[in-house]
Chain A
Amino acid sequence: MNNVVIDIDDVSFNYGAVPVLENISLKIHEDEFIGIIGPNASGKSTLLKLILGLLEPDKGTISKFNHDGKDLRNHIGYVPQHSTFSRDFPVTVGEVVMMGHIATSSKYFRYSKKEIESAKQAMQKLEIEDIEKRQAGELSGGQLQRVLIARALVCQPEILILDEPTANVDMRIEEDIFSLLKNYSEHMTIIVVSHDIAFISGYVDRVACLNRTLVCHNTESISGKMIEELYDAPVKMIHHHH
């Protein structure tokens, strides 16, 4: 087993008096591709925000390490659910991808040649180089998702975190995005949040099922009973091909 890169130790979190997460413990290893699944309002996005450091846990600790054991705040790439910006925001695809360099760029107004080059490479990998000049707000859900993944890759992350990356895309594009992630997972830790257990389990190494508490965290051991417990309704068993 590889090194632990994220160690979530007995974490609880409340919004006011409402408990959102209770006693979560989970170790995520280097180069692992892990899915976090659960019904709506199960605390998935909250757990991501805690891992990212956007929220602080009320109880417990979350430690993050890079490959040599140091703190890695700047090496996490994050792909948000994309509905937050206004459709008529004047920004092109290329400019959004370039934002991945913001923490390290030293030039005023422009980015350096080297930075532009690495952004172009990320766009090629995600096959979005031909829409570089388009306005980000005009894109389809799938295209926009690729743009946000490209931006996260430009940050050269050791860990890539995606929040419902396929919420607004059709099935075919969903498959594209996940096989792409599958490739990246060979040399990158990937955490992906989804409500779609059937789809995700074909790609990821491990699934953490969340509904305020962590119900289970292994694809092998998902049983019908656990899924019932998770979704509060009988669900058909899913075939795993490992």
Chain B
Amino acid sequence: MNEFITALTEYTFLQNAIFACLLASIGCGVIGSYVVVKKISFLTGGIAHSVLAGMGMAYYYNASPIMGAIIAALVSSIMIGWINLRWKEHEDVLIAAFWSAGMAIGILFLSRTPGYNVDLMSYLFGNILLITRSDLLLMFLLDMVVLTVVFVYYKHFLVSVFDEEFARLRGINTEFFYILLLCLISITIVILIQLVGLIMVIALLTLPAAIANQYVTSLYKMFLLSAVVCAVISVAGVAISFGPDLPTGSVIVLTACCAYFSSVIFKQILSSK
């Protein structure tokens, strides 16, 4: 642990990694809470995996992969949302189709890209230690977008997620807010991909919020608590992985899982007393 703290004062890449954890925790706390209370983690996983299509195309056309990721995430969330609203009974199949089609398209484009790019591995599994200043700036901007939209429409999202029928009766356009929420989820996915990669992103969008859900009575409190939980988990993951040189993304995800199961057991013991 001491070794980690000494390294933290010396190396910019570690400082960047810690900043990245904190920035990611903001989006993760807020949007993860919506994913958990609306019970759409499978759908979120689908959007996350379909992001690979955008990255693959970006590599092929020699554009910025992260921009490709943002565009692909937005396009797939709007498409999944729109089709889902009209074809609700096949939601799980629809998600499976987007999930695998996104990966397939990504891999097709990558296979045609000359010289296999190693960066791809960081997007699949995350490599927080490679995060640069400009990545941090992008994460900050995306966080601001998410926070602004949630601040403006907090009440509308709350009513739509809690009781969609009531919201519709009060004249709230619940379909618009559903798709807007999916867009915010896709932006957050792009923020989190930097940390743990698109394959494991679902862990950070569900586990910290699910932990927070066990202790709070209001949605905004859930935002705050799950952001704190996410920050603690991801910083701990960086610290634990640093000494033995383990893949950071995986350690963060496993830390999150351990924290979640510990919290469930802790809650059980509390309620049985």
Within 8 A of A (CB), among B128-170: 151-152, 154-156, 158-159, 162-163, 165-170
For A134, what are the chain B residues with a Cβ–Cβ distance below 8 Å? 217
Shortest Cβ distance from A78 into B: residue? B169
B contact residues around A53 at 8 Å (CB):
169
Verify if A80 is at the interface (C-beta below 8 Å from B).
yes
CA distance A52 to B171 in the complex (A): 12
Q: Is A15 an interface residue (CB 8 A)?
A: no
Q: Find out whether the CB atom of B171 lies under 8 angstroms from the CB atom of A99.
A: no
Q: Decide if B272 is an interface residue (CB 8 Å cutoff).
A: no
- In the complex the two chains form, what is the Cα distance from A86 to B36 in whole Å? 11
Inter-subunit contact B169/A96 (CB<8 Å): no
Which of A63-71, A101-109, A119-127, A201-209 makes up part of the contact surface?
A: A101-109
List B residues 37-57 near A (Cβ within 8 Å): 37, 39
* A54 and B213 in contact, given A85-B163, A89-B37, A109-B151 (Cβ under 8 angstroms): no
In the complex, whether B271 has a CB less than 8 A from a CB of chain A is: no
Does A14 reach chain B (CB closer than 8 Å)?
no
Main secondary structure of the interface of A (DSSP, over half): loop
The number of residues on chain A lying at the interface, defined by a beta carbon within 8 Å of a beta carbon of chain B, is 30
Instruction: Give the CA-CA distance A195 to B206 in the complex, in Å.
Output: 41
Whether B162 contacts A99 by the Cβ 8 Å rule is yes
List the A side residues contacting B33 at CB < 8 Å: 90
Contact status A111-B155, CB under 8 Å = yes
Residues of chain A contacted by B171 (CB below 8 angstroms): 73-74, 103
**A91 in contact with B158 (CB, 8 Å):** yes
Given A99-B159, A99-B163; A90-B219 close (CB under 8 Å): yes
Inter-chain CA distance A84–B162, complex, in Å, is 9
B222: interface (CB < 8 Å): yes
A76 contacts the other chain (Cβ, under 8 Å)? yes
| B contact residues vs A (CB 8 Å cutoff) | 33, 37, 39, 151-152, 154-156, 158-159, 162-163, 165-172, 213-214, 216-219, 221-222
> Would you list 8 pairs from A and B whose C-beta atoms are within 8 A, ordered by A residue?
A52-B169, A80-B165, A92-B217, A95-B218, A102-B172, A103-B170, A109-B151, A135-B217
Given contacts A54-B169, A95-B218, A99-B155, 16 further A-B contacts (CB under 8 A): A78-B165, A84-B165, A86-B37, A91-B217, A92-B217, A99-B159, A99-B162, A99-B163, A102-B170, A102-B172, A103-B170, A103-B171, A103-B172, A111-B155, A151-B166, A155-B170
